[in-house]
Amino acid sequence: MNDPADPRRAAAAAARTSYERLLAFLAARSHDLAATEDALADAFREALERWPATGIPAAPEAWLLTVARRRLVDAARREGTRDAAADDLRAAYDEAAALAATTEAFPDDRLKLLFVCAHPAIAPEMHTPLMLQVVLGLDAARIGSAFLVAPATMGQRLVRAKTKLRDAGIAFDVPEKDDLAPRLAAVLAAVYAAYGAGRDGLGSDEGAADLCAEAVSLARLLAAFLPDEPEVWGLLAMLLHCEAREPARRTADGAYVRLSHQDTRAWDPALRAEADAALREGSRFGRFGRFLFEAAIQSAHARRAETHTTDWAAVALLYGALVRVAPTVGAAVAHAAAVLEAHGPPAALALLDALAPRDVAAYQPYWAVRAGVLARLGRRDEARAAYERAIGLSADPAVRAFLHGEMAAP
Amino acid sequence: MKFAFLSFESPADIARRTGKDSKAYVDGWMAYGAALQQAGVLVSGAGLEPITTATTLRSRDGKRQVQDGPYADTKDQFGGFYIVDVPSLDVALEWASKSPCLPGGAIEVRPLIPFPPK
């Protein structure tokens, strides 16, 4: 459904890219994201409607600016007052118009937008929603649904975040060398969260699939901008591996299939190849962070397509390394699951028992993995209680049905 | 903060409460309630018998009316409720998203009016 050869889709993508470039350029100069979005909103909407029919204009940014000018002039007339922010925006606008009229390729500042959305001055839980709205143009209702927040509340939080960026005078810049790594980690985490929001519990919902595709396109964008950052390649490789397996995650009648039981013939070979190329690209620096380890784990799983067996010892080793660089509950539980297969249930149970009860009380994967470990140890009553807990914590009915089946297995 | 989860079950789910396929559905509710309880967020809750068992009282101009059936006859049935105690609406929605009534029905999340301070 994301066929780039489809001219209508290509036109919509071009409209979006041009809009993003203009927004990045104007906001970096006016420092007012909300006002810049307002100024461009109508032009972007019109481009999305008209370009698929008329074709992409020769100078897309200039086209958008011409339409946006009407809106800008109208707004100035309506409000009748002049404030400094509006002046900044108009000055930026004139600069952009001059550039769009003279240069071949309009400057691409989109990376600045990604960094400003994941700025430390903004609460971490707002990084991804802000990115989805500012960089991808999604509305608050859709973002709210993806993050389980009421649309009006999400709208208010987005407005507050943008106001803070403006009032705190935060620079729209790509951080310098020393600051880049920590700031980039926040950007990557936000893109990953966007992918997770698309994947989690939303089953076959079409909007969810779109959100995953948007996250992958953000990761591709980052790799194009920052090809010397290994973690960028790691994130891209990991997301592409997940995308490659999407067709195998469910049976034809919607039942959930766990990774080690998926039909590898249903995996997308082109996406797999792109994923492994990205992993190689990131690995050549010899610096391994969270996302490169995650990508290496996914790549190890993917090799089952050729070897017909999962190398659990390798997967367990890689998860062990991941837990050391990024000690999250998710990584620890996945580590235990791999250790169960590689080294047996007692070793896996020891890892699970080491986790803090309050960290796992409402964490579904912990209870699902724990149930499997206890079942293998023959501790049936405890296994049953853990399965029930996992079922009660699952949002996805297909996962609930899968766990019911596991629980009933002899 | 205390919230009420009002569960609205789809006609298909109401049908799944009984009959030979009921086990997975009913067990799902048991597991959900147990998960709320074990996480320490459950205050109370109950499932309700189907609307065919409901009786509704009204009083109009001093005249009492008793009627068979629910107050509102909706496609999805009000089938039960939980009261949960969680730090915020965000956490409440996270829990609500795991409700077994969700794929076909809906869950309404409403804050409880706090008791007035003594």
- A21-40 pLDDT per residue, tens: 889 888 888 888 888 888 88
Cβ-based burial of A257 (10 A; exposed 0-12, middle 13-18, buried ≥19):
middle
A253: confidence class by pLDDT, cuts 50, 70, 90: confident
d(C-alpha A316, C-alpha A338), whole Å: 5
A85-106 pLDDT per residue, tens: 677 777 888 888 888 877 677 8
A201: confidence class by pLDDT, cuts 50, 70, 90: very low
* Strand (E) or helix (H) holding A93: helix A84-102
Q: In the predicted model, is pLDDT for residue A4 greater than 60? A: no
- The secondary structure of A248-273 as a DSSP string is GSB-TT--B--GGGS-GGGS-HHHHH
Average pLDDT score over residue span A226-238: 96
Average pLDDT score over residue span B77-88: 95
d(C-alpha A72, C-alpha B13), whole Å: 53
B114: confidence class by pLDDT, cuts 50, 70, 90: confident
The superfamily in CATH containing domain B2-52+71-111 is: Dimeric alpha+beta barrel (3.30.70.1060)
* A401 → closest Cβ in B24, B32, B95: B24
- Comparison of pLDDT for B103 and A315, the residue scoring more: A315
Q: In the predicted model, is pLDDT for residue B118 greater than 60? A: yes
B69-80 pLDDT per residue, tens: 999 888 999 999
Map residue A388 onto helix, strand or coil.
helix
Q: Quote the percentage of chain A above a pLDDT of 70.
A: 93
Q: In the predicted model, is pLDDT for residue A382 greater than 90? A: yes
Q: Where are the domains of chain B?
A: 2-52+71-111
Cβ-based neighbours of A149, under 8 Å, separated by 6 or more: A143, A157, B90, B93
Q: In the predicted model, is pLDDT for residue A2 greater than 50? A: no
Cβ-based neighbours of A83, under 8 Å, separated by 6 or more: none
Q: Is A246 within 8 Å of A262 (Cβ atoms)? A: no
* A361 → closest Cβ in B39, B90, B97: B39
In chain A, residues with a C-beta closer than 8 Å to the C-beta of B35 are: 362, 388-389, 391-393
A103-139 pLDDT per residue, tens: 677 888 888 899 999 998 999 999 999 998 888 778 8
A1: confidence class by pLDDT, cuts 50, 70, 90: very low
- The secondary structure of chain B as a DSSP string is -EEEEEEEE-HHHHHHTSSTTHHHHHHHHHHHHHHHHHTT-EEEEEE---GGG-EEEEEETTEEEEEES-SS--SSEEEEEEEEE-S-HHHHHHHHTT-TTTTTSEEEEEEPPPPPP-
Mean pLDDT, chain B, integer: 92
Instruction: Give me the residues paired with residue B59 across strands.
Output: B64
Q: Do B98 and A148 touch (CB under 8 A)?
A: no
d(C-alpha A316, C-alpha A299), whole Å: 13
A203: confidence class by pLDDT, cuts 50, 70, 90: very low
Cβ-based burial of B118 (10 A; exposed 0-12, middle 13-18, buried ≥19):
exposed
pLDDT attached to residue A339: 98
First to last CA, chain B: 18
* B34 → closest Cβ in A201, A362, A392: A392
* ipTM given for this complex: 0.77
Average pLDDT score over residue span A13-27: 87
What residue type is A374 in one-letter code?
A: L
Is residue B89 less than 8 Å (CB to CB) from chain A? yes
pLDDT attached to residue B57: 93
Q: In the predicted model, is pLDDT for residue A75 greater than 90? A: no
Residue indicated by tokens 């140890």 = A377
d(C-alpha A391, C-alpha A402), whole Å: 9
- Comparison of pLDDT for B114 and A2, the residue scoring more: B114
Is residue A255 less than 8 Å (CB to CB) from chain B? no
Q: In the predicted model, is pLDDT for residue A82 greater than 70? A: no
SS3 sequence of A329-355 = HHHHHHHHHHHHHHHCHHHHHHHHHCC
Structure tokens at A327: 């000690």
| Cα–Cα nearest to A335, from A366, A356, A291, A308 | A366
Phi, psi of A85 (to 5 degrees): -65, -45
The CA-CA-CA angle for residues A202, A204, A209, to 5°, reads: 80
Q: Do B35 and A362 touch (CB under 8 A)?
A: yes
pLDDT attached to residue B70: 93
Q: Which of A65-74, A250-259, B7-16 has the lowest mean pLDDT?
A: A65-74
Neighbours of A409 (CB within 10 A): 7
Neighbours of A130 (CB within 10 A): 25
Q: Do A362 and B27 touch (CB under 8 A)?
A: no
Q: Do A392 and B36 touch (CB under 8 A)?
A: yes
